[in-house]
């Protein structure tokens, strides 16, 4: 079959991936959902033309977004909420922790979940966990109605704009804090300082205004524009830049990116990012 190239072009930047087959192309109420089989990177998910994941490196993003807050939490977290994350990857990583008793996910677009279950089994297996409860709703509204319920809240959002826009507001961060139990930790997708420095700054200012401890962690995901993405991690419980406890030997055999050393290193930022966040 003849190959072709798919290009994500946004924010003055483009990235092109060679694909060999379109597995899914559908328009939901909120966005266009596409899944492609690529030549070198496994399967590729796009929402409104923006790369969400590829099989080749999604483990980096999902391991970091799940484990940075999990291990920053003092003691053992029991209840977690994922906002967004309809591909199931963060659920998969949270599901590796038997200590968690309850894992909720609030995804606004049920068609993203359906497409993931059909075409992205590598990540959608996260929905198979019996501890997972799915809520199809607007995360910015859902969080207002669940105060003091969670030890971890993880925001796995799309880029600003479209259905993810409310998840980048200052009010949303205040509501995230209200949803936490004492010592709770949040982590939110916080963009690349190379491509969207103003968004990185905005989200970290919002976090610092609401939490005693807040910091930006950067890590490499080659198929995201500029090859770097970040997470804002925040808590009133403790400094989030170092893990509270080590990874078990059993889990360490499964994880491919996250370690305690990587946790601390992710918060060691280049000079230009430090100035951006100062």
Q: Which residues are catalytic?
A: 156
**CB-based contacts of 36, cutoff 8 Å, min separation 6:** 6, 17, 19, 20, 21, 22, 23, 43, 44, 46
Q: Is 192 helix (H, G, I), strand (E, B) or coil?
A: coil
| Residue labelled with tokens 């909120």 | 30
In 3D, which of 211, 215, 251, 191 has the Cα closest to residue 63? 251
Q: Are 226 and 195 in contact (CB under 8 A)?
A: yes
Determine the Cα–Cα distance for residues 55 and 38; give it in Å rounded to an integer.
Answer: 9
CA atoms within 13 A on the CB side of 181: 13
- As a whole number of angstroms, the distance between CA 44 and CA 223 comes to 10
DSSP state of 178: H
């Amino acid at each position: 079959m003849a190959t072709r190239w798919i290009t994500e072009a946004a924010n003055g930047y483009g990235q092109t991936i060679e694909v060999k087959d379109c597995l899914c192309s559908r328009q939901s109420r909120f966005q266009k959902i596409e899944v492609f089989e690529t030549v070198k990177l496994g399967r590729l998910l796009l929402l409104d033309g923006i790369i969400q994941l590829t099989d080749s490196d999604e483990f980096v993003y999902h391991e970091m977004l799940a484990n940075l807050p999990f291990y920053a939490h003092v003691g053992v977290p029991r209840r977690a909420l994922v906002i967004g994350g309809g591909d199931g990857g963060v659920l998969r990583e949270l599901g590796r922790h038997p200590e968690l008793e309850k894992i909720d996910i609030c995804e606004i677009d049920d068609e993203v979940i359906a497409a993931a279950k059909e075409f992205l089994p590598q990540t959608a297996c996260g929905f198979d966990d019996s501890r997972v409860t799915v809520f199809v709703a607007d995360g910015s509204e859902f969080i207002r109605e669940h105060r003091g319920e969670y030890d971890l809240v993880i925001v796995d959002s799309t880029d600003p704009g479209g259905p993810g826009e409310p998840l980048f507001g200052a009010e949303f961060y205040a509501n995230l804090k209200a949803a936490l139990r004492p010592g709770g930790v949040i982590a939110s997708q916080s963009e690349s300082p190379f491509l969207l420095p103003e968004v990185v700054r905005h989200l970290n200012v919002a976090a610092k205004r609401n939490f005693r401890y807040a910091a930006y962690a950067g890590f490499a995901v080659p198929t995201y524009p500029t090859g770097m993405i970040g997470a804002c991690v925040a808590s009133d419980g403790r400094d989030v830049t170092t893990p509270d406890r080590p990874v078990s030997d059993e889990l360490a055999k499964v994880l491919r990116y996250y370690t305690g050393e990587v946790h601390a290193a992710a918060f060691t930022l280049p000079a230009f990012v430090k100035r951006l966040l100062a």
